[in-house]
Amino acid sequence: MEISKQLQEYIENNIFPLYQKNDLGHQIDHIKYVITRSLKFAKQFDDINFDMVYAIASFHDLAHYIDKDNHEVLSAKLFYENKEMKKFFNQTQRKIIKEAIEDHRSILKHEPRSNYGKIISSADKNIDIILALKRTHSYTLKHYPNLDLDEIINRAYNHISKKFGSDGYAKTYYYDKEFEDFKKNVETLIKNKYGFAVKYMEVNGIMDIKEKAKLFAVQAHMGQIRKSEPDKPMIIHPIGVGQLLESFGYDDNVVAAGYLHDVVEDTKYTIEDIEREFGKDIANLVVGASEPDKSLSWEERKKHTIEETKKLPLRNKLVIGADKINNLEDLFLKFEKNGERDFSAFKRGEDAQKWYYTSIYESLITGEDKDLPIFLRLKDILDKVFYKKEDLYLKDTIFANNQDYYAKLRKLHAGKTELQRLKSLVTLPKPFVIEFTGTPRTGKTTVINNLYDFFKKGGFEVSLVGEFTTSKYYKEELKSKFDSMSYSDRDLAIFGEIYKQLQNAVLTKKDLILIDRSLNDRQIWNYRRLVRGDMPEDLYLNAREKYSKLSKKLIDFLVITYADSLVSLRRDYTSSLALENRSFLNEANIDEYNNSLKSLQNLFSESVDSKIFFDTSNANINETSIEIASQILPVMRKKYIKAFQQKYNQ
């Protein structure tokens, strides 16, 4: 097996150095590894050109830094256009080499077109778990820099499972014992996601005792639900406790114990398991937060906990305090959202709970500085839940003459606060998008502004996208051009701009997007044109199906406001100084719009998962905003819980 010396020298001097531009997993070490394996497989053939095999392996990942998703095509192009390669290989050979490079990726659905393609595809397989984990980490850091550690590990687990698991897409066209053994080792590793995560962190030098504890807790509490809120996974509580301790700046072991504090009490794992995995200090912190034998009565267990807590070191008390804070804050938000104090989920009623939590607080501050931020926060939520503490300035001064309205705002505020807590645990895969449409002069713009302030003041990153056809860009840059088009072409052009506007907004890192008249508003315009006879039915139906699919994908909530036509017209006159006749806004026009909304209710059900039709004829605009916000919040809540479940595979 001889490789042309001139070919080797050219590639080593001119091609190999270019691999420094790739991420660590696709640099020269990987290329030399693939070359060695390719030549090994090539020995199985009598009619293989080893220079061609060497060239294929040398070029196969060359363009990875340019476009990772299409690097096989670009790498093949770089080979095919290389002038020196034309001196080493004839046209037929160059075509085979080009095709082999194009065919080398395991993820491709088609089989390589030649034995050369099968050789490189088989050789381009990792047979070292450590290397696989390192390459995956390097790739993730370069191409997904905004992922947190949980997301990095989750991506690595899914990638390794999908590629090398029992049904993985990575395959070889020749017998390769090393690769088969590697796959068996991978299958063993991915059976335990916690074990995989620990191995991944160890291999990549990112072992974090806090993250390790969180992952252990996630695995331990898998499938459990929050007793007081069955739609939430149990693990939300331990993660909230750990994050709370971290927010106060406590040491890593205390934070880790926060994540683990319910493991011994509520799962199959013992304190010996915790000590073996995390050491004596963390185990002691977890023991302090765990109740004694549950065969004892509730009263006996609580009395024991109250007395033992007094004797504990401060670090143990911190874990217990964070646990109580998280529980009470969740309980308070539930009370506020429902507008009533309901202790029915507890084995003992309000009086018993008040006694227990108050006593625990007293035990926690025994011998300690009660003005520590964590104890002040516990006292504050304790007073709110059991002693009905509230902001008397808001109640008795700001809303002195409007207590019903204040009560509604409290419910809304609680729902928003719960979303803030969920947002601290997980990020939505895309911003939550709310489209507003409906009849003119129904308070839509005011509602949009109210909701913008509501979420913005709550710490959400909000983007407000104005109505496209009233924008300066449309009026000055596009309107004259669009007006000269046919109805069909104009509709497609406007739709294209609105869709681009929405897509650009969705690509931002915002939490929430409020968009004034978007895809579903175009559906209303098209329907009105259909009824008037301005739009052929086949064109309307095609547009309807297309717009619905895109809306379902991008828009999470649709707000449609409408009002009696005379009410809308009166609002228009009273909101401006002009008494001239309206050229566009009149009763007949508004009636047509309202009738279209009624006719399209089934369409809107197909286009979005959640919507609200709101008649503002007799409604106060603030009441309208409250009602709309109160229906949006539960939908957002479900989205956050679903994102959390997906992130932690709950």
| Model confidence pLDDT, tens digit, residues 37-85 | 899 888 888 889 999 999 999 999 999 999 988 999 999 999 999 999 9
Q: What is the pLDDT of residue 236?
A: 96
Q: What is the pLDDT of residue 337?
A: 93
Q: What is the pLDDT of residue 491?
A: 81
Band of the pLDDT at 218, cuts 50, 70, 90?
A: very high
Q: Tell me: do 218 and 175 sit in the same domain.
A: no
Give 167-199 pLDDT, tens digit per residue.
888 778 877 888 888 888 888 999 888 889 899
244-252 contacts, C-beta under 8 A, 24 or more apart:
244/322, 244/325, 244/326, 245/318, 245/319, 245/322, 246/210, 248/318, 248/322, 248/373, 248/374, 250/315, 250/318, 251/315, 252/208, 252/209, 252/210
pTM of the model: 0.81
Report the CATH number at residue 511: 3.40.50.300
Rg of the chain over Cα atoms, rounded to whole angstroms, equals: 32
Give 243-290 pLDDT, tens digit per residue.
999 999 999 999 999 999 999 999 999 999 999 999 999 999 999 988
- Three-class SS of residue 367? coil
Could you say which of 124, 146, 173 is where a domain stops?
A: 124
Q: Note whether residue 394 is domain-resident.
A: no
- Percent of the residues in the chain that have a pLDDT greater than 70, as a whole number: 100
Q: Note whether residue 396 is domain-resident.
A: no
Q: Tell me: do 141 and 109 sit in the same domain.
A: no
**Assigned token pair, 425:** 């645990």
Q: Note whether residue 400 is domain-resident.
A: no
- Three-class SS of residue 430? coil
Q: Note whether residue 401 is domain-resident.
A: no
Number of domains in the chain: 4
Q: Tell me: do 410 and 547 sit in the same domain.
A: yes
Give 557-613 pLDDT, tens digit per residue.
999 999 999 999 999 888 888 888 887 788 988 999 999 999 999 999 999 999 999
Q: Is the pLDDT of residue 401 over 70?
A: yes
Could you say which of 357, 389, 421 is where a domain stops?
A: 389
Q: Tell me: do 416 and 304 sit in the same domain.
A: no
Q: Note whether residue 175 is domain-resident.
A: yes
Q: What is the pLDDT of residue 506?
A: 93
166-175 contacts, C-beta under 8 A, 24 or more apart:
169/106, 169/107, 170/106, 170/125, 171/106, 172/121, 172/122, 172/125, 173/112, 173/118, 173/119, 173/121, 173/122, 174/41, 174/44, 174/118, 174/119, 174/122
Full residue range of the structural domain in which residue 324 is found: 210-222+231-389
Tell me the C-alpha to C-alpha distance, in Å, between residue 452 and each of 430, 459, 561, 627. Answer: 18, 11, 17, 15
Q: What is the pLDDT of residue 1?
A: 60
Residues taking part in catalysis: 265-266
- Which one, of 584, 183, 581, 259, lies nearest residue 425 by Cα? 259
Q: Tell me: do 161 and 107 sit in the same domain.
A: no
Mean of all residue pLDDT scores within the chain: 91
Q: How far is 604 from 609, CA to CA, in rounded Å? A: 9
Could you say which of 124, 153, 182 is where a domain stops?
A: 124
Q: How far is 111 from 104, CA to CA, in rounded Å? A: 9
Q: Tell me: do 497 and 587 sit in the same domain.
A: yes
Q: Tell me: do 73 and 215 sit in the same domain.
A: no
Dihedral pair phi/psi, residue 258, rounded to 5°: -60, -45
Place of tokens 């009565």: 297
Q: How far is 337 from 630, CA to CA, in rounded Å? A: 10
Q: Tell me: do 427 and 544 sit in the same domain.
A: yes
Lowest-confidence region among 66-80, 123-137, 365-379, 626-640: 123-137
Report the CATH number at residue 83: 1.10.3210.10
Q: Note whether residue 397 is domain-resident.
A: no
Q: CB of 261 within 8 A of CB of 240? A: no
Q: Tell me: do 513 and 533 sit in the same domain.
A: yes
Cα-based angle 266, 267, 270 (whole degrees, multiple of 5): 105
Q: How far is 455 from 236, CA to CA, in rounded Å? A: 23
Tell me the C-alpha to C-alpha distance, in Å, between residue 294 and each of 291, 351, 359, 503. Answer: 7, 21, 20, 54
Lowest-confidence region among 80-94, 125-139, 265-279: 125-139
Q: How far is 137 from 543, CA to CA, in rounded Å? A: 44
Q: How far is 456 from 623, CA to CA, in rounded Å? A: 19
Q: Note whether residue 395 is domain-resident.
A: no
Q: Tell me: do 163 and 262 sit in the same domain.
A: no
Q: Which of 22-31, 323-332, 535-544 has the highest mean pLDDT?
A: 323-332
Q: How far is 60 from 79, CA to CA, in rounded Å? A: 9
- Report residue 565 CA to chain centroid gap: 42
Give 467-501 pLDDT, tens digit per residue.
888 888 888 888 888 888 887 788 888 888 899 99
Sequence letter at residue 196: F
Q: Note whether residue 427 is domain-resident.
A: yes
Q: Tell me: do 272 and 370 sit in the same domain.
A: yes
Q: CB of 531 within 8 A of CB of 589? A: no
Q: Tell me: do 365 and 424 sit in the same domain.
A: no
Q: CB of 52 within 8 A of CB of 97? A: yes
Band of the pLDDT at 234, cuts 50, 70, 90?
A: very high
DSSP assignments along 133-183, one per residue = HHHHHHHHHHH-TT--HHHHHHHHHHHHHHHHSTT-S---SS--HHHHHHH
Q: Which helix (H) or strand (E) holds 560?
A: strand 557-562
Q: Is the pLDDT of residue 126 over 90?
A: no
**Assigned token pair, 251:** 């040491």
